[in-house]
Amino acid sequence: MVDKILILRKLAELEEYLNHLKEYSSLSLEEYQKNWKAQRIIERTLQILIEICLDIANHFISDKHLRVPESYADSFKILLEAGFIDASLFQQMEKMARFRNILVHHYDFIDAPIVIGILRKNLDDFILFRDAILKALSYQAG
């Protein structure tokens, strides 16, 4: 059985980090590029958010004895295959997993317009992920 307490704690962390990022959502591209502190805060917080989602995904995968993911992005594909998330959310989370890899492994290739785009257009993807997980948890209880 999925550890509901653990998942709910991770979802609470997700919301806390999202609230932190929302403080930067009005930052212009120019302001972002000039402010190394804001860059670090935003990039690290995005990494943490994505990793929280991956932790949750992998908890479901392990608990349900689903196939072993071949990559971080594949973790979200497995959730799609199992019916925990829909195709649209999968596509967004797959992009987030790939972006996480850029953040972690290719520091010199971080594209500032992509970061600003995520801040302005894609933070709600984390809310959609949260909602899908809460729905999956409610099915577990019922």
The reply to whether CATH 3.40.50.10240 applies to domain 4-141 is: no
Domain regions of the chain by residue span: 4-141
pLDDT of residue 141: 55
Position 2 scores a pLDDT of 83
pLDDT in tens, 59-115: 999 999 999 999 999 999 999 999 999 999 999 999 999 999 999 997 678 999 999
Contact indicator for 101, 91 with CB cutoff of 8 Å: no
DSSP-assigned letters across all residues of 65-123:
TPPPPSSHHHHHHHHHHTTSS-HHHHHHHHHHHHHHHHHHH-GGG--HHHHHHIIIIIH
Average pLDDT of the chain? Answer: 94
Q: What confidence score (pLDDT) does residue 126 get?
A: 98
pLDDT digits (tens, 9 = 90+) for 38-67: 999 999 999 999 999 999 999 999 999 999
**d(Cα 37, Cα 87) in Å, to the nearest integer?**
35
